[in-house]
Structures are given as structure tokens and as C-alpha cells.
Amino acid sequence: MKIGILTGGGDAPGLNSVIYGVVRTALSRFPGCQLFGYKFGYRGMYRNEFRELTRENTSGILHRGGTIIYSSNKDNLFDYPIEENGVIVNKDVSHVAIENFHKEGMDVLVVLGGDGTLSSALNFHQKGINVVGVPKTIDNDLAATAATFGFNTAVNIVVENLGRLHTTAESHHRVIVVEVMGRDAGWIALHSGIAGSADIILLPEMPYSLEKVVEKINERESQGKMFTIVVIAESAKEQGGQKVVGRVVADSPDPIRYGGVAAKFAADLEPLIKNEVRSVNLGHIQRGGEPSAYDRLLSLRYAAKAVDLIEQKKFGHMVALWKGQMGSVPLEEVFSGGNKVVQADDELIKMAKGLGISFGV
């Protein structure tokens, strides 16, 4: 048996842990099998660039962040930019990847990715490739599973930095606005804001009112609390306003890149209050470094279940966690209900309000 593995989309702590788990579990379960990692995700399938993965060259990667086979969030082989007569045009080149896959005698492809990467995995499965999906995103917005690896680590990183920012905010009586990742879902902001003792949390699912934010800051001042910590999700917006786009990456399947909302919010807020307002964008710090113990264990559980699906020949499925147990769902169902976002009546929202945290509404 020959098993291919690829990591697509943005990197996340835990990718190497899954690779480690799949390699060791597969070699134990299928003696004599070979495993290969495609370089830079689907681009590696298109260019037929891969490396063999063995016990020896995956030793010591369980705790490492990033991915040893690299990743790309630009290479959709069903809509891929190629040059024809000096002009860049987008074409379906998936047949090239499929030909390479079969030419090398690959039997199954294990795909580690988020919604974009897994939607391509579904397309390849529909074209005859044996595919097993593993959910990956620090945003935790895949509705088909209770948790994705990388999320816990990202939250821990934000919480650690909020602790550091608290001390300087209190020392200078400032409002510090901290921008966090999450795309169109507010899970990182919500979890890290609560755990990191933020006073105000602004989510994309709940457009904020500047007036309500000012009220909260003034309320804290009347209580003798002369500083405020605001956690703002990267796609949060003011009521009636627009999301802040940092840049547009034209050759990406998902070209919109959010960024800069904390700086804009700080500039809007400062004229309305007495305090100085400073903004911090944690950026890619949130997706770098070693995975937490929770994410390492979750990654290894996903890896073991992925090998189970291979053994059962249950292809076209993604491994999933529900009610503490590992299972799987058809890839078609991963996208049927849209992304998982924060609901206004979420138990954490209610709890946070009880603690006195404002959501600017």
C-alpha cells in the first residue's frame, strides 16, 4: 500500500503531529506500506513533487509547529492559473494530478485542511481518488466536527499575550485593542477574550456600537478601573459598517485577507474617550510555534481514526469529533450546513455577560 499525505491552506499547530501519527499508525497497521508527503499541498500533486515519510525522518516532529511537507493556500487545481501564449488563464488541471497519483501507484490520499482544502478533496474523490480528510483550522469553524486542531494552541497564545498587555495597559491607564484571527467566525476572540480577562469582546457575528463601547469604558472608569482591554476579531465590524480588508491576494482561491480592524477601531474610539488607545495585531503569532498538549492529543486521535478509515476502505469521509468520540462524516456533509459561527445565545456569550464582559451591543 502507498499512502499520500498533503497539508493545504494556512498552517496550524498540530499538522506535524497528525503526520507523525499517520506514519506510525499506518506502519504498525500495514507492515511494508509506504507513505509519501506531497510538497506544498495540491501543488505537489500537480508537479509530482513528494518525499517519502518514514519512522526515521518523522522522528521528533510530534511537538513541532508548522508542517514538514509545507503548505499552500493558493493552489486550487480545479481553477489553477497557468500561462498560455503569454497570458495567465485559470484552468482545471486536476487531471494532471490524478495521472501523477496513479502513475506513482498511490492507493489513498490523506488530506489535512480546512474548508477550501477539503472541498478540493471532495472533488478528487468524485473523480476516483480514494480520499480521507482530516479537519484543520485554527478558526474552529468547521461545522462537521466539534473541534479542530490548532484552535486550542491559538487561544492559548492569545491568552498569554493578553496577560502581558494587561500589565502595560494598567500601568499607563490605556485602552489596548488586540486583533485576533478567525476569519468570519469569532471563536478565537470569544474563548481567548473570556480566558484572558478582556473587558470588551467584539465578534464578527455581533456588529458593535461605538456608543456601547464608550459606555463600558466610562463605566469601568467610574469604578476606578482606568484601563480597558478590548479583543476584536479580524472581521468584526461596526453596526452599518464594513469589514476591514488588509489586502487582496488575486491568485488565491480565497483572495480576501482581513487585517487592520484594531488600528481602525482604535482611531475611531480615541476621540470619544479620555484614555490613550493603542492597537496590537497578533497576526501569524497565533498560528506559529509548538502545539499545546490538547492539540497534540487531538491530532494523534485524528491520525489514528484516519488510518482506521483506510483499513475499512471508508473513503470520501472526514474524521470528526463528536461528544468526545472519534467518528467520521461524508465529505459532502462537511459543507452542507455552512461554517460554524458564534450564535448570540451561545452559552459562553451568556456566561461572559454575567461576568460583566461587553460585546458592544
Q: Which residues are catalytic?
A: 139
Q: Which residue is associated with the grid cell 476516483?
A: 128
Q: Which residue is associated with the grid cell 489586502?
A: 247
Distance CA 39, CA 191 (A): 33
With CA atoms as reference, report the closest residue to 117 among 311, 284, 334. 334
Please, how many CA atoms are within 13 Å of residue 85, restricted to the half-sphere of its CB?
Answer: 0
Provide the grid cell at 138.
485554527
CB 132 within 8 A of CB 166: no
Strands (E), 191-304: 200-202, 228-233, 245-248, 256-258, 276-281
